[in-house]
A and B are shown apart, each in its own frame.
Chain A
Amino acid sequence: MHHKRKALTRRDFLRGTIGATLGASMLGPKFTMARRAPAGASQVTIVRDQKAMDAANTVDPAVLKAMLDETLIKYTGEKTAKDAWGRLLMPNDTIGLVPTPHLNPTHQELVDAVKRSLMEAGFSEGKILNAQGGPDKPKACTALIGLPGLKAHWLTGIGTVMKLYIMYSGAPRNYHDENSAKLGEIWNYPFVTGKTKLVLVDALHPLGDKGPQVNPRYKWAYNGLIAGTDPVAVETVCLRIIMEKRKEMRGEPWPLSPPPLCVEAADKVYRLGTSNWDDIKVENYGWEEGLLLG
């Protein structure tokens, strides 16, 4: 039976025909109806501070708070973090914070900083939930803030933004292997679509290779936060950073293996945003050394 479907192969990547193969023969039409991201460049904001972590990779909460404020202000163009949240969220929103739970998890310091920042902006603590988990979590929220940890992943190539909502499917194993290309469909589930108001990537201490379990040899202090509202654009920037770091580690191009199908599929099939680098406007602030944007 397995012979009847067109298998996606290395040759599809070499030919540049992944999008067509994915769209036509692998994924089918389920949950591909998303709204297109707004026309124009998708903005992604990177804020870095060399002092975000010390030599032992312990996070400095004060520095992190300043980075968070700056990220919100620069991304939205508002004058304060409070105003920035006001632009991104509705006053009555029930807000779900969605961190990466395992295998290079999001720093708890970042989750705490976001929660405090929201409370300082006037959102009540009772309406700020941890929304990582099964489908009931997003159903309980009117707004989601994605807080993924930046990392490569041995089954999906990259395991950062698109993979963040995998538990919302209720069947995460259905999205591994070749089905990792379908991760984007979860973002279009009726109880998820349109709820993500910000993706804020924890790029303090990313993992560049050799999952599934963390090997500290492939972690490095990037000391950054990466923010945007186009999840595919944010993932594309994350991918660029990981690829550049891998090149630096080996001194030559070191492609992710397997390739990250989910990013292009999120764009071409699920229409969640753009994976085209030329359509992404990256703004970076703070520490510039080792920015890794090519």
Chain B
Amino acid sequence: MPDPKQSENIEWGDARTVITTGTSDPIAAAWYLTSNRIWPLIAHPVRGPFLLGIVLFLLIVAMVLFSPSTESHFIYTDF
């Protein structure tokens, strides 16, 4: 089974390496970042729910702010 931290026998090091040096294998890089960096934060039994709460809050705020305006709209027919 291939080492998830390696792609084409290149030692990845950490996420910074991927971003700064670029790669010919972006899918592997994205997978590495998701599975080894982001997912552990979400899956963490203590930090995870708090993070999800923040995401939920941001989603609700974004829904209110970015929904199209239908209220209080006066159609101003000057011309």
- The answer to whether A binds B is no
